[in-house]
């Protein structure tokens, strides 16, 4: 499975806190799992004013026994996040960093995206002026989506669709 996210580091964590991220949602992350690991997790940061999104994200994780909401204003939570950023043995912790239309897919996925467009949108064409079809990678509550833009059309599909 494709995983576009970087490992969480202490520096990345502190940069996010300095940028105003207060809430950090932890969830199980199957895209980061490898055979030799006990578990892989994804952490997603939210600013203080994004509390409604945090609650919505947590609601999607009711079946995830590893889901946890950290509050960076609580010292013990910040300390636990720091430990997670240290990448404890047997675990990998990734950070849901921003992606979007500046994402460059690996060659394999570039071909799969082209095949998907040919199959589902045979009338879409790339214009010579650089316009035409744009594809971005987006994360919503830990799940990956491809967002397609063509002229005035815009829609999203789960990334799993092309895997």
> What pLDDT score was predicted for residue 150?
85
Q: Which of 99, 110, 101 is nearest to 136 (CA)?
A: 101
Per-position pLDDT tens, the chain of length 163: 899 999 999 999 999 999 999 999 999 999 999 999 999 999 999 999 999 999 999 999 999 999 999 999 999 999 999 999 999 999 999 999 876 667 888 999 999 998 998 898 888 876 555 557 888 899 999 999 999 888 788 889 999 999 8
Q: Which of 121, 42, 39 is nearest to 88 (CA)?
A: 39
> What pLDDT score was predicted for residue 132?
77
HSE at residue 157, side-chain half, CA atoms within 13 A, is 12
Domain ranges of the chain: 10-95, 107-162
> What pLDDT score was predicted for residue 105?
87
> What pLDDT score was predicted for residue 97?
82
Give the contacts of 158 (CB within 8 A, at least 6 positions apart): 143, 144, 145, 146
> What pLDDT score was predicted for residue 149?
85
> What pLDDT score was predicted for residue 81?
98
CB neighbours of residue 120 within 10 Å: 11
């Amino acid at each position: 499975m494709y995983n576009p996210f970087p490992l969480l580091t202490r520096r990345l964590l502190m940069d996010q806190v300095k940028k105003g991220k207060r809430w950090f949602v932890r969830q199980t992350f199957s895209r980061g799992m490898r055979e030799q690991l006990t578990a892989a997790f994804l952490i997603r940061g939210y600013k203080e004013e994004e509390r409604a999104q945090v609650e919505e994200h947590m609601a999607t994780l009711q079946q995830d026994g590893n889901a946890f909401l950290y509050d960076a204003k609580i010292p013990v939570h910040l300390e636990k996040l720091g430990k997670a950023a240290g990448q404890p043995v047997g675990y990998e912790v990734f950070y849901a960093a921003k992606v979007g239309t500046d994402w460059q897919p690996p060659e394999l996925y570039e071909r799969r995206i082209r095949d998907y467009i040919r199959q589902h949108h045979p009338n879409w064409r790339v214009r010579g002026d650089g316009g035409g079809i744009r594809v971005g990678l987006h994360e919503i509550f830990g799940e990956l989506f491809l967002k397609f833009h063509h002229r005035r059309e815009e829609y999203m599909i789960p990334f799993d669709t092309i895997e």
